[in-house]
Structure 1
Amino acid sequence: MMVFNGCQLLEKEIFFFITLFALGTGLPQGAPESVCDTMLPFHAGGGILPEKSVSPFVVESAVSVISQGQTLKVELSGVPAGLNLSGFMVQARNWNPPFAIVGQFSSIRDGLVKLLSCDDSINNSATHSNAGAKPQVIIEWRAPLDFVGQVVFNATVAETYNKFWTGVVSNPIQVVKRDLFVETAQLPTKRLPTSTMKYFTTEAHYTPSEYISSNIVISSRMDVIYTDCGARKICFGLPDGCIISKSCISITAVTVRGNIFEFELQSGKGTKAVYVAMGLSDDAKMGEDLVIECVPENGRVSLYSSYTSNSPYAAIRSNVLQNSARLINASFVDGVIYCKVQREPLITVQGRNFDLRNDIYHLLVASGTTLKNTGIGFHDIGRSPSGNRINLAVVQDLIGNKMVLVRLHGAFMISAWTGTASLGVIFARYFKHTWVGNQSCGKDQWFTWHQSLMITTWILTVFGFVSIWVELKQAVWHAHSILGLVTLILCFIQPIGAFFRPGPTDKSRPYFNWFHWLVGNLCHILAIVAIFFSVNLSKSELPEWTDWILVTFVVVHCLSHLIFSIAMAASDRQLNQRVNAFQMGEMSHHQEAMRNGIIAATELDAPYAGLRKGLLGVYVIVVSFFVLVLILLVLLAPIEQYWSST
């Protein structure tokens, strides 16, 4: 056994030295056709891996739109000027699946380029013909006669034998029909090379990576980000289910090809977004996350890298290496922000490593309508974390985190203000003369029910406020939150006032009664209006027809008050007749008759007590139905995804 293992070891050593000797020249005649698919150099038998940093070499063309059969020049060069390359391999590929090699490179007379025929197509790839140092390489490429669409030049570039980069990609080139007149669109006049990026401080003037897109490329392809979702790339959008309908208000897509990590971001049409962002998070909550921001500025889409902090709670760009990501395509057309970004697979921020190849992360997607002096503002259009942490290289379908605290907030508030508060008001207003003589804990039945229901309302409101505060960790001001805060304040004022309630015979009791009535009704009305405003919030993910359920509830509630009021008026009239009847029956003893009549009348339930109790039973059933339906809508949101999956 040991002799066999020794022979194996000897064979491996011989093979290793032979491989080193054969490859020691660094493949001076260029890459072989055997690497057409991977474009990976087999340096040292595959033992030398590509560099992890962003490539200091770029692939550029003088134009961004050409016609079928037209020839353009492609330049490979280093940044800054003077950085030499020794070897390369370049192909033109369809920007859309199946990413096939397209077009044909022309023969070059400077002796620096050798043409390859991959996939049985003639001269569709190019490589170096010698391994000498070259400041730049210019290649001619001809567009196919039967192709319309976008192509990108994908290159592997080597600075030395053991130092090379893969996935060096150009900006997209649009190929149009020959009979279509196209005004040549120049590339950006200002495009900062990645090697000139620096660390920034909060006070520094940020100079992001910028790209000016051609509207011909993007305007007719607003749904390009949705292409191949779930097949070749991971897509995650807000709200859940929006990817199928291509209607996301914010979406991000991740594509991994070897050592290349590409992120696409897009805002929704009509959202009025001023930024779209995505982040990588360990815990599905904002804080200590690596973020990509795409922000339109002066007609250009700018790329920023940032890091979310807990104190202050914000996305901060300072001390984040800005050249860890590269903007390779972007547009801002009809209010829709789109960008495509390449990011390094390993980056260290604030002493923390983000390893995209080996670690798993939640995806965060967000967009908003405000910007700050040093970064993006709150994600008031929407924010959603993926439901689970994922390996970015494993294509899969994602759904959003159900945001349990947000759902609980909605359930608590609906239970409080459409349920217990509504019922508590009914008891206080219409049942003071019902269940007379049948007390609980020394208190009238109506008061016991009213007090218990309103205490429950207060508890549910506090729970609802705490749950949403824990979720957001900061104040967010819009109609719903402002009305909710006012409701919360009034909700605390009401029991404090009740605690200091003056006695029944106190001369200030009428003032208390009016104050208690006013605050209680105002609190109830504002809470219902706040629930209406919550329907349109992106976090709620409620269907628009939820408004009609709320309107129906309000109509039923108002009609119930009307019916109870009519019944109470009839009851009061008959009660007065009852008292007068006692008085008329004892005319000879008027004072005694008056006293006995009033006592007898008031010790009995007011007339129509049975009717009121029956109406109360119907009201409880109907209101419980509305509360149940609304809570289910909140907990199962977005409810449309359940229908679309059936």
Structure 2
Amino acid sequence: MNILLSAFLFLGTSVPFSHEYSMGAPDSACIRMQPGHTFDPQTSEPPVMLTLEKDQVAPGGSIRLKLEGLSGGSFKGFIIQARQVGNEDNQVGSFETEQASYMTCGRGIHNSLTHQSSADKQSVEALWKAPQDFEGEVVFRYSAVVAYDKYWVRMETPQVRVTRSAPQETTEASESPVFVDGIQFPEEDQPTETSSSTSFTNFDSGLEDASQSSESESSRDTLFSTTATTTTTTTTTTTTTTPELTTETSSLESDNPIFIGCGSSKSCFGIPQDCINTGGCQAVVSYEPSGTDWLFKVTGKSDGYIAVGLSSDERMGDDLTTACYYDQGLGEIQIQSGVNNGYSNEVLTPPQFAIHDFKGSYEDGYISCEYKRPSTVEVPKLVRTLDLGKDKFVIFLAEGGFGSGQIFKHRSKDKSAEPQALGIVSNLEAHSKLFIKLHGSFMIGAWILSASIGIILARYFKQTWLGSKCCKVDQWFIWHRFCMLTTWGLTIAGFILIFLELDGWTEIPISDNPHAVLGCITTGLCFMQPLIALLRCHPEHKQRPIFNWIHWFIGNAAQLVGIVAIFFAVELDKAQLPKETDYLLAAFVAFHFLMHVILSILMCTSDMRKEKQGYSAYPMRSLNGKGYPDYDEVKRDAPGGGIRKFFLVIYILVDCVLATALILLVVYAPIRPTLEDIGILRPQ
């Protein structure tokens, strides 16, 4: 017994109460920021300095900071925090960097930085982001280790003011960081602070907390393991439904619980674009760490489903999806996991794959659900493992209909701007649709407006305004050339913009939607037309009729194919146009055809009244080789010029109204909810 006791005492006094943290300080070193051993902190001027790019920032704004050794010196370890003045125990905001590791302190996420290794370093740069719901004074506090016996603690920068009156910055977000132990604990699971006697040791490896036991460190390593995979789930469904189904379009109220903590303790994304900040959200998804899992919450106005997708890029395909849908037959909310294969979705087996703690409700036409996913999800259909704590994702959010046991194509959809780690707390910005909107507007302006007017002028007004020339050129030809060059410029610009947006060819199969192919054909014909016009022969040349037919055919074919391509564009997800847009396009086609009929009749009447025989407004009639006067040889307007001008004015006015309406639908898409609210469109 004495031998065993002696051995026990020997082991107890021989094992040092310290651990190496070569990857940075542990999370429990949040408060004191001080190593503890026989050496006291230095009181001299520190050889390192933390500099900030500015002294005030707006809520949600960012400040760049840099910790660097002075006079070319280096340092080994550090901790950096931002703390609220007057409440120094409260860490504020979050950091973004790839040059350091993150610490979880208090209730925030990524609100402290520490070193990644014990190697000498001359500088470390990071981006600090202020909470969107915070205003006040902040001070940056930092500690640095130069050598085992030389360290400085709790140094502070001048105060930074977070205020809405600060100048708004336009700063490109830095690259999202790689997670290192980047999981936030619930309050009850957070590492507890040690007393003032907490000691640190082994400063060659950085700041370390010696009070943590081997057992707790071992459990911590197990807790943060990223090799475990969850494939089975236990799900509890709680459903509340209203007796009747409502389909009236409305937005979420600003006091909806899902908005609590957005941008400060969790990330949020909504549709339509920027609705988290401006209001009027149709659907919202939020996500935040919950222990070793990730908690997702989804709320929106829908009688069908709201779906969330996690994508590694900005394209649909190979994405993990989650759909919360209202099953009217069962009268309850259900949930299912799926995988996007291109633009189709395949439900996983079981449907609640890697989902647990599910709760759902349907009340007053609103779907609400929340669920958890493990940090690591191995998806067989994707042939890869998703690490929700480290990987970067683009968030897709969609709303659509559900019936007969299946999910229909979404009615509205949006995605976040770029891949971002889930642990970066922010209100996500939607992907910019500028190029798409410009592409659509340019093509409508080209083929609905300018090309149509140019073709009308060339076909029916060659014998009009002959007494008014500019540089010896008739008015019809000047305006025809202007319209067609405008068409050419808008088409080429729109063609380039959509390829820049897609970064290549579309993933939509031609059999599903031939818009892309039709657009390329239109652009090719349009590009050829002015080149062919430059090669035209003299009006009296025997080959001139052939040119006339070729020029006529290519111009009209380009417009025809272009308008058909616009019809197909209405069906594209990226366009986000209401299906009623087809009615406006059909109205234009009908009006365009009617005006051709009216003007053709007027031209035939004018031909019959001409005194000079053999002259025709239709150059294609000269295919038999008979010549016709050039427009420069005609000195007066053909009969009926006044009535033709009247119908031209009518055509231009109506064409401008229709084109403007179509362009507004493109620019303000998705606009269906607004049109439904004001009664122009019926709710779907």
Q: Give me the TM-score of the superposition, normalised by structure 1.
A: 0.48
Larger-gyration structure (1/2)? 1
Scaled by the length of structure 2, what TM-score is found? 0.46
